[in-house]
Amino acid sequence: MIQSISIVGAGKVATHLSKRLRASGLNIRQIYSRQLEDAQELAATLNAEGINQWKDLQFSELDLLIIAVNDQAIPEVAQILSTLLSHSTLVVHTSGSSPLSWLNALPRCGIFYPLQSFSPGREPDFQQIPICVEAPAQSDQNLLIELGQRISQKVQVTSEADRRSLHLAAVFVNNFVNHLYQIAAEILAERHLPFDLLLPLIQETAAKIQGHNPAEMQTGPALRGDRATIERHLDMLEDHPEWRELYGVFTALIRS
């Protein structure tokens, strides 16, 4: 059973995940960050120690070390850890798109990927966040499943291909959709209209796809073949050629 955890990283994923693990009764021992102030600030909320020197990491009786850093930094962190840690410590990273093989230099490794977008000032409901786990050793995978179940109702064993597909799909439904919200906000701002006029529509769109196939819930001028409305919209976007092009692409995809 995993009881004692340290975390490399003090960003959004590290912050939200460490706080949830601590709230579930687990012992967060150390937070490492290159910026000591960041490490100490997060550690102070967890009754943990904040450090910025690799030599200060303590592995004695440490059950799990979580790497929660930018994807590009994972190989470098793993290489450093391979020269420091003992064979008894399980190490995981939290990335949805990075391969498990980046941790191959470590004796015990795995994936603990919370499939959610984390932002400052918002407290996510971890019980509803899918936790995707993977490990070469079945015993380690079982430990990660058990850990996931302590903080979430949705724990899923995934292969690397599964996880990459989930991450790709997540970019479409989160990052791309949020960018569309930004475009919509700018369109309304040009008429001095508040974005919150769209919130009921956004909420209804999200509600409709729960339990339904998104394709069955599609509406709008493209689906209806309402060419007059489409042309009018395209004319309105004449001063924003990049938005106009995007509108045309989405319209063609919906009509195909």
Give me the domains of the chain, ranges plus CATH numbers.
Answer: 4-158 (3.40.50.720), 163-255 (1.10.1040.20)
**pLDDT for position 87:** 74
Q: Does the pLDDT value for residue 256 go beyond 90?
A: no
Written as six digits, the tokens of 7 are 């975390």
Q: Does the pLDDT value for residue 88 go beyond 90?
A: no
User: pLDDT band for position 169 (50/70/90)?
Assistant: very high
Average pLDDT of the chain is 95
**pLDDT for position 242:** 97
Lowest mean pLDDT, pick from 65-79, 91-105, 118-132: 118-132
Is 95 buried (19+), middle (13-18) or exposed (0-12) by CB count in 10 A? buried
Number of other CB atoms surrounding residue 195 within 10 Å: 15
**pLDDT for position 76:** 95
Q: Does the pLDDT value for residue 120 go beyond 90?
A: no
Chain segment 170-217, per-residue pLDDT in tens: 999 999 999 999 999 999 999 999 999 999 999 999 999 998 999 999
**pLDDT for position 49:** 97
User: pLDDT band for position 73 (50/70/90)?
Assistant: very high
CB under 8 A, 24+ apart: contacts of 22-26:
22/46, 22/47, 24/150, 24/151, 25/150, 26/2, 26/150
How much is the pTM?
Answer: 0.89
Question: Which percentage of the chain shows pLDDT scores above 90?
Answer: 92
CA-CA distance, 136 to 34, in Å (whole number)? 29
**pLDDT for position 32:** 97
134 contacts 100 by C-beta, under 8 angstroms: yes
Residue 8 pairs in a beta bridge with 32, 67
Chain segment 208-228, per-residue pLDDT in tens: 999 899 999 999 999 999 999
